[in-house]
Chains A and B, each alone.
Chain A
Amino acid sequence: MLVLAFDTATPAVTVALHDGRRTLAESTVIDARRHGELLMPGVSAVLGDAGVAREEITHIAVGTGPGPYTGLRVGLMTAQALATALGVSSYGVCTLDVLAYESGLTGPFLVATDARRKEVFWAEYAGQRTRVRGPAVDRPGDVPGDLPILGYGAKLYPEAVGAARIVAGAPEHPSAAALAALAAEEIAAGRTAGAVLTDPRPIYLRRPDAKIPGPPKKVTVL
């Protein structure tokens, strides 16, 4: 098995290759505005580092967000088109699940990422791989409960979420190495349509911004 994984739902453009036992190569660049420019070169670099030809890839896993939409779509469009070009299957994984898995935490906790507009995307977990609530989008002060919380969304709003709840040393952004490892486990276990692996489609959580204009305007404001 050779799983190519990437996530573009946060400021991290992260790519990794996993053979079912370990990560063979990975690349992560933090740049919230250049997902479209960085992703394919990142894929090419990771395959080059691992000494693997693209035809050897057996599966693609991609973060489905939630995350800022423009960047998020780059990952999903790339996964869909690359999977078709290579003739392999592609799977989606909720980006918050990747952070939860990577944290290695056992007890209940929350994950939050930046949703911009002074809001966070968040979800609640009973353990490393068990989401029990969310994903949802809210103001940081409206995220319920008092569980420990991790992710860049918590770090951005320490006052609103309560600085004492923030898990020290936990990952802020998802890493594709964790995404690849999680996906590889699920694929190996045959859970390709379970709670973790989904279709590679975006989780938006908000309706598109659009105002319906009023009746035709007068000359002066036309």
Chain B
Amino acid sequence: MGTPVKTEPLVLGIETSCDETGIGIVRGHTLLVDAVASSVEEHARYGGVVPEVASRAHLEAMMPTVDRALREAGVKLADLDAIAVTAGPGLAGALLVGVAAAKAFAYGLGKPLYGVNHLAAHVAVDQLQHGPLPKPCIAMLVSGGHSSLLLVPDVAHGVTSLGSTVDDAAGEAFDKVARVLGLPFPGGPHIDRVAREGSGSAIPFPRGKADDGTLDFSFSGLKTAVARYVEKNGGSMNIADVAASFQEAVVDVLTRKALAACRLHGVDHLLIGGGVAANSRLRALAQERCEQVGVRLRVPRPGLCTDNGAMVAALGSELVSSGVSPSELTIPADSSMPITMVTA
């Protein structure tokens, strides 16, 4: 069957898996616009994301954000070749708002719908900045909900999980430690900032599972060690040293395991994605260690690492140009969509 495949499809991506209403528009690998409305400030006073608050905010923000994205990109809805949306994983009620919008746009415009995996989208987004992904590559996804090492032969067709966290996600550890240190939510960026004034080798925090021979992670022991340290040294501690030493422990293990995955699978391209990839120390240490062993490192700019609509559009565009079949209008929002499933 010879349906001609568009090589530079114009795709709108919708992301509502957590607290950001993200709308991105891409043409092929070119980013036209990445519009985000965040409810993070509404959640900050609760110290975490409140699902019902997030879902309400997505419904409020959706149409204004879509309008803004179309306007800034100079694109009309009718020009689109496809609609892509995060189908999972994420908060069920939040995902459902995006999926409902995407189905209505796709049906109303008579355009194909792609329900996509949020984690695969965190990988695909790098194409917008650094061009086509090397096939294969190793991807390390480090975000608020996930810490995974993936083998990615071709992001449009599937990824294999090589290892993941057995307890807290890396971003979750950043957020929880930030709370112990009295820093605002979400804590990752604050730890990153405060740590710049401190020494990463001041306190020898534990490196969970660092030498256990697996590609799995564990951050809950580290988090507890930091909390104990703070409890014991509260008044006299140097918060910058605590932040820097905690951060060093996380990024030390992350980079070691990522390079172990490259070595094990004979792959010489490493991609880091997800919100924690915005961390300046992770970026620097990964660069240093990759250079030492001749692995090429790709990390999208920080704005593309946290949740956004462009990453969903980027994966959608890849699916269209790879000739992958669109999703049905019956697809559910799948809060625990497995990483091995790229489309719903």
| Dominant secondary structure at the B interface | helix
| A-contact 0/1 string along B321-338, CB 8 Å cutoff | 000000001111100000
| Residues in B neighbouring A202, C-beta threshold 8 A | 56, 59
Complex Cα spacing A74 to B55, Å: 11
Tell me, yes or no, whether A41 is within 8 Å of chain B by CB.
yes
- Once A208-B53, A216-B179 are accepted as A-B contacts, the answer to whether A70 and B100 lie under 8 Å apart by CB is no
Q: Is the CB of B103 within 8 A of A69?
A: no
Segment from A78-86, A110-118, A132-140, A165-173 that makes contact with B: A78-86
* Given contact pairs A40-B103, A54-B108, A85-B108, A204 touches B56 in the complex (Cβ within 8 A): yes
Complex Cα spacing A82 to B111, Å: 13
Total A-B Cβ pairs within 8 A = 119
- B45 to A, closest residue via Cβ: A212
When chains A and B are docked, how far (Å) is the Cα of A44 from the Cα of B329?
9
Given A216-B182, A219-B227, residue A76 in contact with residue B103 (CB < 8 A): no
The answer to whether A34 has its CB under 8 Å from any CB of chain B is yes
On chain B, the residues within 8 Å of A218 by CB distance are 227, 231
In contact, B329 and A76 (Cβ under 8 angstroms)? no
17 example contacts (A-B, Cβ-Cβ < 8 A) are as follows A37-B330, A40-B103, A41-B329, A44-B107, A54-B107, A69-B55, A69-B56, A70-B55, A77-B101, A78-B101, A78-B103, A82-B104, A85-B109, A208-B50, A210-B50, A216-B179, A218-B227
Q: Is B110 an interface residue (CB 8 A)?
A: yes
**A218–B97 alpha-carbon span in the complex (Å):** 37
Q: Is A94 close to B, CB under 8 A?
A: no
A36 in contact with B333 (CB, 8 Å): yes
Q: Which residues of A contact B48 (CB under 8 A)?
A: 213
Residues of B within 8 A of A216 (CB): 179-180, 182
List which B199-225 residues lie within 8 A (CB) of chain A.
223-224
Least Cβ distance of B11 to chain A in Å? 15
With A36-B99, A77-B62, A216-B180: A85-B104 Cβ-Cβ less than 8 Å: yes
